[in-house]
Amino acid sequence: MDVPYQIALWGVRLAFLVVLYVFLIRAFGSLWRALRTEAELAARPALAYLVVQRTHAQGPRAGERLPLRTISSLGRDAGNDVVVNDEAASARHATVTLSDGAWWLEDQGSTNGTLLNGQRIVRRERLRDGDIVEIGRVGLRFEAAA
Amino acid sequence: MVARMRPAFRGTELGLIFWVALLVGLGFLAVIGAGASALQASSLIVPATFVAVAVALHLFLAVRGSRGDQLLLPLALGLTAIGLVMVERLAPPVLLLQQLTWTVVAAGAFVAATLIPRDLTVLARYKYSWALAGIALLASPLLPVIGRELNGARIWIGLGDLLNFQPAEAVKILLVIFFASYLEENRELLASAPARRLGSVVPPLAYLVPIVLMWVLAMGVMVLQKDLGATLIFFGIFLAMIYLATGRATYALTGVVLLLAGGSLAARVFAHVGARIDVWLAPFSDELRFGAGYQLVQGLFALGNGGLLGAGLGNGMPDRIPVVWSDFVFAAFTEEVGFIGAIGLLALYLVLVFRGMSIALRAPTPFLQLLAAGLSFGLAFQTLVIVGGNAKLIPLTGVTLPFLSYGGSSLVTNFVIIALLIRVSDITVRVRGG
């Protein structure tokens, strides 16, 4: 085979590697941007908080402000947005959601129930600033940000 | 349902698919250009068809209005593109057309998996049916008429000469679905610390039932079907998922001990297992170099021959490795594109798995989390097992390099995995917003 053909062939081989890396770098770039957006979202002030009122040795610290998202899960499991470490708490105990401009508390079929201002809730209940949510031995005060 | 159909602009995905198209074009050009025959228009039919399939899948997701991940599909397609280039390079021409056909079938499976109703809970609801279907599929190669034995392993089903399917690949997904829903239900029990007696670190018997059952199943696969690779993958996925669900290292450690015990026993009892271990320990020994160890030895020479920049795509000597297109694609690829290319390839897998794991972390329910994590771990583990096998890091087992190796069952399965991961991220975006 003649020399120009060989040079062209090596050009194609090199271009293959270059394109492989361009593809890789663009994929990495997209990954990086996604991670940064996520970090920025996490840094934004929360819409509302649950402030720990009553707790025990293994539970969350008293006075701690736990940030809430538009949908937050509460429970003993480490995968929850708000982890309530208490023997009486179920793995997925309750959820707090923001919808139709209001905050709502809902029990997720927990074994020992969720208390709102001392009353065990049955279905979805509206949450107002200063309400007390109780899960097991842990008491949390709801605090809307705005 | 109507709102879901509103089309979505998936710019990142489309942009990346452009580079995939360029990659497959250049790859075919390099391989065909290095060959003896002149470049013809007909030889570009395969890459052209592939690009058409890629764009069609992108448009399908866009028209359906998927708000799921935009990186997974291009990454899977990029790896498939390299796979097609390598099949063109390494395998007899008839296999290239078969692989292209399988790519189209895989795209169809991708579309079908995307259409699974809404929140995928249908998968969790019928978990025992999925598990039974999985075991039935797994056992199907043992049946008389449709079962096939190829290269010493009875792991194929097929009708006629074509269309051999390896059910163990599809079983992988069914098992992950079953584990995810089983563990979601039972992780309370499994994770709860049993009363610690003095010096007792092993959980009581009841907690060990699932792990022992799974071990029996895995060993059954090894003994009856002689499929070491599937044994390792199934058991690895199971251990990873039980650890993810419970956070208890005891399970993982118990499992590894059980696997090692089973493995070393099998190596003594079964000749085909023992042979793999011998080859792994000393492939260059006088008895093995030109015998059972020949494939691995040639593969190692290919890896070393690649050097930093490789021999150039189409310029290596992959013919020296027997059945190179199925078990040794990684070694052949590394010989021709060198260390640089091999690192680039592994980095693609890294991004893919990282992305899958981030989807798992963000998923709204434990079932979806475990599903995404199990599927991603399966891809990562399988890549490790075959690349490690090529590099003589661990004994060689015949599993496919995801998306790259010649083989239809594997390609179809992996595209379904990608579809499921995209679905999980789509659900996450819809539930969490943003």
pLDDT confidence of residue B94? 82
User: Residue B365's closest CA among B189, B241, B238, B180?
Assistant: B180
Of B12, B23, B247, which is closest to A30 when you measure between CB atoms?
B12
Task: Look at the block and give the residue holding tokens 């269309």.
Answer: B163
CB contact under 8 A, B351 and A91: no
Residue B430: closest CA among chain A residues belongs to which residue? A71
Give A17→chain B minimum CA distance, Å: 7
Residue A41: closest CA among chain B residues belongs to which residue? B434
How far is it, in rounded angstroms, from Cα A2 to Cα A83? 71
Q: Is A7 on the interface with B (CB under 8 A)?
A: no
Q: Is A77 on the interface with B (CB under 8 A)?
A: yes
pLDDT confidence of residue B197? 46
Strand blocks (E) in B141-193: 147-150, 153-157
User: Residue B401's closest CA among B307, B324, B321?
Assistant: B324
Q: Is A32 on the interface with B (CB under 8 A)?
A: no
Mutate to test the interface with A, among B19, B335, B365 (most CBs of A within 10 A): B19
CA distances from B388 to B229, B258, B338 (A): 12, 21, 17
CB contact under 8 A, A70 and B247: no
Residue B339: closest CA among chain A residues belongs to which residue? A17
Task: Look at the block and give the residue holding tokens 């098992």.
Answer: B175
Tokens of B129: 């049916």
CB contact under 8 A, B315 and A16: no
How far is it, in rounded angstroms, from Cα B396 to Cα B390? 7
Angle at B413 between CA B409 and CA B416, to 5 degrees: 145
pLDDT confidence of residue B3? 46
Q: How many CA atoms lie within 13 A of B215 on its CB side?
A: 17
pLDDT confidence of residue B378? 96
Give B273→chain A minimum CA distance, Å: 37
CA distances from B93 to B15, B84, B90, B99, B312 (A): 31, 11, 9, 10, 21
CB contact under 8 A, A23 and B78: yes
Q: Is A39 on the interface with B (CB under 8 A)?
A: no
Secondary element (H or E) of residue B129: helix B127-139
Of A16, A41, A78, which is closest to B27 when you measure between CB atoms?
A16
Residue B395 CA from chain centroid, whole number? 18
How many CB atoms within 10 Å of residue A92? 19
The answer to whether A52 touches A83, Cβ cutoff 8 Å, is no
CB contact under 8 A, A91 and B188: yes
Q: Is B202 on the interface with A (CB under 8 A)?
A: no
Find the mean pLDDT for residues A31-42: 85
How many CB atoms within 10 Å of residue B259? 18
For helices B205-225 and B249-269, give the axis angle rounded to 10 degrees. 30
Q: Is B14 on the interface with A (CB under 8 A)?
A: no
B92 by Cβ neighbours in 10 Å (0-12 / 13-18 / 19+) ranks as: exposed
How far is it, in rounded angstroms, from Cα B356 to Cα A96? 27
CB contact under 8 A, A9 and B30: yes
Among the listed ranges A2-6, A45-49, B197-201, B314-318, which one has the minimum average pLDDT value?
B197-201
How far is it, in rounded angstroms, from Cα B140 to Cα B167? 8
Of B71, B187, B247, which is closest to A27 when you measure between CB atoms?
B71
CB contact under 8 A, A23 and B20: yes
Length of chain A: 146
pLDDT confidence of residue B16? 95
Residue B228 CA from chain centroid, whole number? 15
- Give the rounded percent of residues in chain A with a pLDDT score beyond 90: 28
Task: Look at the block and give the residue holding tokens 């006088």.
Answer: B286
CB contact under 8 A, A21 and B344: yes
The answer to whether B211 touches B182, Cβ cutoff 8 Å, is no
Sequence-distant (≥ 6) Cβ neighbours of residue B74 within 8 angstroms: A23, A27, B13, B16, B17, B19, B20
How far is it, in rounded angstroms, from Cα B33 to Cα B22? 16
CA distances from B408 to B106, B109, B376, B413 (A): 8, 12, 20, 8
SS3 A132: strand
How far is it, in rounded angstroms, from Cα A119 to Cα B59? 52
Q: Which chain A residues contact residue B431 at CB under 8 A?
A: 71
Q: Which chain A residues contact residue B12 at CB under 8 A?
A: 30
CB contact under 8 A, B75 and A27: yes
* Residues A126-146 pLDDT 10s: 999 889 999 988 899 998 875
pLDDT bracket for residue A62 (50, 70, 90): confident
Given a cut of 50, the residues of chain B with pLDDT beneath it are 1-3, 195-200, 434
CB contact under 8 A, A9 and B15: no
CB contact under 8 A, B313 and A13: yes
Length of chain B: 434
User: Residue B334's closest CA among B326, B347, B344?
Assistant: B344
Sequence-distant (≥ 6) Cβ neighbours of residue B19 within 8 angstroms: A19, A22, A23, A26, B74, B78
Sequence-distant (≥ 6) Cβ neighbours of residue B244 within 8 angstroms: B370, B373, B374
* Residues A75-119 pLDDT 10s: 888 778 888 888 888 888 999 988 877 889 999 888 888 999 988
Give A61→chain B minimum CA distance, Å: 23
Exposure string of A58-84, with b = 16+ CB inside 10 Å and e = fewer, is: ebbeeeeebbbbeebbbbbbebbbbbb
pLDDT confidence of residue A53? 86
Find the mean pLDDT for residues A49-72: 82
Tokens of B67: 């708000």
How far is it, in rounded angstroms, from Cα A72 to Cα B433? 12
Strand blocks (E) in B69-221: 147-150, 153-157
CB contact under 8 A, B33 and A9: yes
For CA atoms B215, B219, B225, B226, the dihedral sign is positive
Tokens of B268: 């003594």
